[in-house]
Amino acid sequence: MSSKKLIYELLLVGDTGNVKRHQPDSLLELLRRHLPDTVDATVLFLGDNIYPHGLPAQGDKLRQDAEAVLNAHHKAVEDFKGQVAFISGNHDWNKGKRDGLSYVLRQEAYLNNLFGKEVYFPPKACPGPSLVFSNPHLALIAINTQWWVQKGEKPTGKKDGCLQDSEEAFFVQLKSLLQKHASKRLFVCGHYPIYSYSLHGGSYKLKHHLFPLTIYKKGAYLPMPVVGSLLPLYRKYYGAREDLSHPRFKQLRRRLKAIFREFPGLTYIAGHEHNLQFIEKYENNYVVSGAGSKATYVVRNGKYSRFAAKEKGFFKIKVYDDLSAKAEVLAVDEENADGHLLFDGWMR
């Protein structure tokens, strides 16, 4: 029996906006050590590329620090032979504030200039879908989840350089793009997860009900028994704009889940949650890889969860010539520069 041949690798790194600016960062150093020595690979940064507010205008007191963050990303992958791609998250849109569009467009221009080519998807802050790359074996498509919940100005239609002139057109084009590449291994990426067993997905610990301010700030142990449960319950069932239960995002989730179920084996890739999760549901794979800067609480035994960890690290997906795929999870290990392999398993 012939062995499988590795034909492509995806390295998925999210929420790296708080990496060290002017000294080696443990996560970026781990990523660098695991970069494949081939053109048949992509490093995908999954949004929230700059904390706390994205890339401000020239002259802003935070501008120099924000540039240093993006420069650190570039340095980590400057010798990489494969493709590098970035998508945007809510922090890149100035945490979703009404002037967020200018922030994300500045980041796109800065990164494209830094790398000397287009690396930011979907381009021009459009909703997508946008084909990041394809070959005879696989295709990677980017969507802009923040576009759906963003306040203030956001691009729509030809006047803004977008192909999508309505929300319905987005879904029509996404399904059409998936059908066009249906014979391949399919990957779709967006900053917000579709499923999550962590805070944005409505999963909270008892301490979050007793000390609700710890949801936002570590160590904020102001006791608020009974009344304190209102905040976790609100975020679970209605949701802030960054939560999966927010009405606008629920609309997007519902439609995406229905489309994805038509393509068994499709993998949806996200960041946003500051942990590492691999969820299988309805014959689709859902990867959450948002532990680039910090690690936060996640339920380890969710109903559809195959793996979950509160560790700084990232996912690597290996695709083989029979279109099978394997997921690996690598975590920072202070005693081992090559990191620690937390998970290694075949995907649907």
Q: Say what the pLDDT of residue 242 is.
A: 75
Going from N- to C-terminal start, the domains of the chain cover 6-202+243-346, 203-240
Please give the structure tokens belonging to residue 211: 């000390």
Residue 103 burial (CB < 10 Å; 0-12/13-18/19+)?
buried
| Upper half-sphere CA count for residue 70 (Cβ side, 13 Å) | 29
Question: How is residue 111 annotated by DSSP?
Answer: H
User: According to the 3-state scheme, what is the secondary structure of 215-269?
Assistant: HCCCCCCCCCCCHHHHHHHHHHHCCCCCCCCCHHHHHHHHHHHHHHCCCCCCEEE
Q: Is the pLDDT of residue 10 over 50?
A: yes
Q: CB neighbours of 176 closer than 8 A, spacing ≥ 6?
A: none
Cβ atoms 266, 260 nearer than 8 A: yes
Cβ atoms 311, 333 nearer than 8 A: no
Q: Say what the pLDDT of residue 226 is.
A: 46
Cβ atoms 46, 275 nearer than 8 A: no
Q: Say what the pLDDT of residue 243 is.
A: 79
CA distance linking residue 94 with residue 113, whole number of Å: 21
The b/e string for 271-306 (b: 16+ C-beta within 10 A; e otherwise) is: bbbbbbbbbbbeebbbbbbbbbbebebbbeebeebb
Mean pLDDT of the chain, nearest integer: 91
Cβ atoms 30, 292 nearer than 8 A: no
The neighbouring-strand residues paired with 187 are 140, 267
Q: Is the pLDDT of residue 207 over 60?
A: no
The model's pTM is: 0.91
Q: CB neighbours of 299 closer than 8 A, spacing ≥ 6?
A: 197, 198, 203, 305, 308
Cβ atoms 125, 155 nearer than 8 A: yes
Dihedral-angle region of residue 102 (phi above 0 means left; psi in -120 to 50 means alpha; beta otherwise): alpha
The neighbouring-strand residues paired with 48 are none
CA distance linking residue 223 with residue 241, whole number of Å: 25
What's the mean pLDDT in 260-276?
Answer: 97
Q: Is the pLDDT of residue 229 over 60?
A: no
Q: CB neighbours of 224 closer than 8 A, spacing ≥ 6?
A: 210, 211, 212, 213
- Rounded to the nearest 10 degrees, the angle between the axes of helix 63-77 and helix 26-33 is 20
Residue type, 299: V
Place of tokens 């960062």: 25
Kindly indicate the confidence band of residue 289, based on its pLDDT and cuts at 50, 70 and 90: very high
Which of 1-5, 224-228, 259-263, 295-299 is predicted least confidently? 224-228
Give the H or E element holding residue 171.
Answer: helix 167-180
Query: Tell me, which fold does domain 6-202+243-346 have in CATH?
Result: Purple Acid Phosphatase; chain A, domain 2 (3.60.21)
Q: Is the pLDDT of residue 283 over 90?
A: yes
Cβ atoms 87, 45 nearer than 8 A: yes
Percent of the chain with pLDDT over 70: 87
Cβ atoms 290, 312 nearer than 8 A: no
Cβ atoms 132, 84 nearer than 8 A: no
Question: How is residue 185 annotated by DSSP?
Answer: E
Write out pLDDT tens, residues 238-258: 556 777 888 899 999 999 999
- The order of strands in the sheet holding 325-333 is 83-86, 41-45, 6-13, 313-320, 325-333, 336-346
Kindly indicate the confidence band of residue 297, based on its pLDDT and cuts at 50, 70 and 90: confident
Q: Say what the pLDDT of residue 199 is.
A: 74
